[in-house]
Amino acid sequence: MLLYLVRHGIAIDRDDPKCPDEAERYLTEEGIKKTREVARGLASLIDAPEILLSSPYVRAWQTAELFAAAFKIPKQKIRRTGLLLPGTDVAALFRELAKQKDAESAICFGHAPHLDEAVAAVLRSKGDGTSLKKAGVACLDLNRVAPPTGILSWLATPKLLKKLKY
């Protein structure tokens, strides 16, 4: 399975007086614009994923919707899961993905450092080897989904993906 991990786009700052609860933090106008460009760049590079999973937090869900639009996938295909919330057990996410036996690709929308921990789990790394930027994407080529084994095929910054022609 090809697993794409996407960190949410730029959200309202926690220090902003208008900032809502953590779960309700939303993408800023700049975050929406940049994330849309990143999503279009990725859509020009890869085939549409079969599975779309998102953290239920607003900023991750908004990011998932922008990516679904870029891939021309109805947003109803995005599934919310608490397994992409910060601090959850990464192994549980991979067990959930393993249930999708016929899927060749999946894209997950979540948060740092949880997504970096997922990369580390695949690479069987003890430390933090990655630090996804907001709207950054990691591509993992999994030999086995649970417990995960595979390789980090690539990691792309938003700046790189925005430069792709779509």
Give per-residue pLDDT as tens, 90-99. 999 999 999 9
CB of 14 within 8 A of CB of 116? no
Stretch 1-18: mean pLDDT: 96
Two structure tokens written together for 151: 């390789």
pLDDT tens digit sequence for 125-161: 876 788 999 999 999 999 999 999 999 999 999 999 9
Give the domain range for residue 109: 2-162
Residue 165 pLDDT greater than 80, yes or no: no
CATH of the domain at 136: 3.40.50.1240
Count the neighbouring beta carbons within 10 Å of the beta carbon of residue 57: 25
**Mean pLDDT confidence for 20-30:** 96
At residue 166, the pLDDT reads 64
Q: How far apart are CA 84 and CA 80, in angstroms?
A: 9
Inform me whether the pLDDT recorded for 33 exceeds 80.
yes
The string over 102-139, giving b where at least 16 C-beta atoms fall within 10 Å of a residue's C-beta and e elsewhere, is: ebebbbbbbbbbbbbbbbbbbbeeeeeebebbbbbbbb
Say how many domains are in the chain: 1
pTM of the predicted structure, to 2 decimals? 0.96
Mean pLDDT value across residues 68-73: 98
